[in-house]
Amino acid sequence: MLFSTKQFKTIFLSAFVLFAVLAITQPTTTYAADASTVGVVNYQQLINQHPDMAQANETYKAAVKQAQDDFNTKSANMNDQDKKALSQQLQQGLQQKQQELINAIRDKVNAAIKAVAEDKGLTVVMDKSVIAYGGQDITDDVLKKITGK
């Protein structure tokens, strides 16, 4: 069996953490700018509350189940070395799928941030986690644009 229930939960939790890390990874170099042209967002919140995130998680869970089923089917008559190679191949496929899912959501969030920033005349938008002070918080405006609410 490719993954036990505990391993499946660990992989799913690890995937969620990886989604979160990827979502907040932004350049941290800042330069002086007029505070009125700097916007800040809670990027993690925007990713987590994006309407596509629930579907992305379901899609990923389905991919994990499919990979487990594929492993169980294909590895029945394999030796340990071949099983290990198959497992690694399937795990690489899962990592690629996860990357595709999060990148699609990040692209949509980034487009919404850009649109709101342009509407407000902001020239720089940064994640709140790298700002100690200042900047106009546009998280709620971006969230409204994303969710349509």
Instruction: Work out the pLDDT band at 75, boundaries 50, 70, 90.
Output: confident
Per-residue DSSP letter, 75: T
Sheet holding 124-127, edge to edge: 124-127, 38-41, 136-137
pTM score above 0.85: no
**Euclidean distance between CA atoms 14 and 61, whole angstroms:** 12
Secondary structure (DSSP) of 10-41: HHHHHHHHHHHHHHH----------GGGEEEE
pLDDT digits 0-9 by tens, 44-56 = 999 999 999 999 9
Residue 26 has pLDDT above 60, yes or no: no
Residue 33 has pLDDT above 70, yes or no: no
Give pLDDT, residue 117: 93
List of domains in the chain: 5-147 (3.30.910.20)
**Euclidean distance between CA atoms 11 and 98, whole angstroms:** 12
Average pLDDT, the chain: 82
Distances (CA, A) of 54 to 58, 90, 98: 6, 23, 13
- Find all residues with CB under 8 Å of 48, minimum gap 6, and list them: 20, 23
